[in-house]
Amino acid sequence: MHAIQHTLPKDIISSINQWCSKEIDAFLEQLLLLRAQKKAPNFSNQETELLLKINQGIPFDIQHKYNSLTSKRNNSELTKNEYNELLLLSERIEEIEVQRIKYLSQLAKIRKTTLPQVMIDLGLKEPEIA
């Protein structure tokens, strides 16, 4: 086992410091993928990538604004513009959730199982059928 270094070499930090934010984001994504693979080496790269995407969730700013507008709506304090914004946010959240279900379906296919079983395996609540 390798000795744990508490600080990264200065040349690595210096190099990363020169990158644009997109490059840093891509690097972080690769690091997270590497970490996930080391924690669960029995997952394929494809499974690990899907699990990372599944676990991303709703971006904080969207969720925060949605919660704020929902609270105002529940208190009958929502303006027409805020109502329209709430509708747009609801649609965006729905799109994110649909994409998440697609990732879950891909994972089920890889694992040769069903979507409900994958959701159970991951501790996710099954969507209610209307």
Q: State pLDDT tens for residues 26-46.
A: 777 777 766 666 665 567 788
The residue segments making up the domain with residue 98 are 58-130
Question: For 51-103, how does the pLDDT look when each residue is reduced to its tens digit (9 = 90+)?
Answer: 888 888 888 899 999 999 999 999 999 999 999 999 999 999 999 999 999 99
Question: For 115-124, how does the pLDDT look when each residue is reduced to its tens digit (9 = 90+)?
Answer: 998 888 888 7
The answer to whether residue 36 sits within a structural domain is: no
Q: How many domains does the chain have?
A: 1
Contact 66, 93 (CB under 8 A): yes
Nearest to 44 by CA among 113, 118, 107: 107
The answer to whether residue 47 sits within a structural domain is: no
The answer to whether residue 118 sits within a structural domain is: yes
**How many CB atoms lie under 10 A from the CB of residue 54?**
20
The answer to whether residue 80 sits within a structural domain is: yes
Contact 89, 99 (CB under 8 A): no
The answer to whether residue 1 sits within a structural domain is: no
d(CA 103, CA 109): 10
Q: What is the DSSP letter of 7?
A: S
Amino acid at 50: L
The answer to whether residue 125 sits within a structural domain is: yes
d(CA 58, CA 81): 22
d(CA 56, CA 79): 31
8 — pLDDT class (breaks 50, 70, 90): low
Between 89 and 23, residue with greater pLDDT: 89
The answer to whether residue 115 sits within a structural domain is: yes
CA-CA-CA-CA torsion for 100, 101, 104, 106, nearest 10 degrees? -100
For position 36, what pLDDT does the model report?
A: 62
The answer to whether residue 26 sits within a structural domain is: no
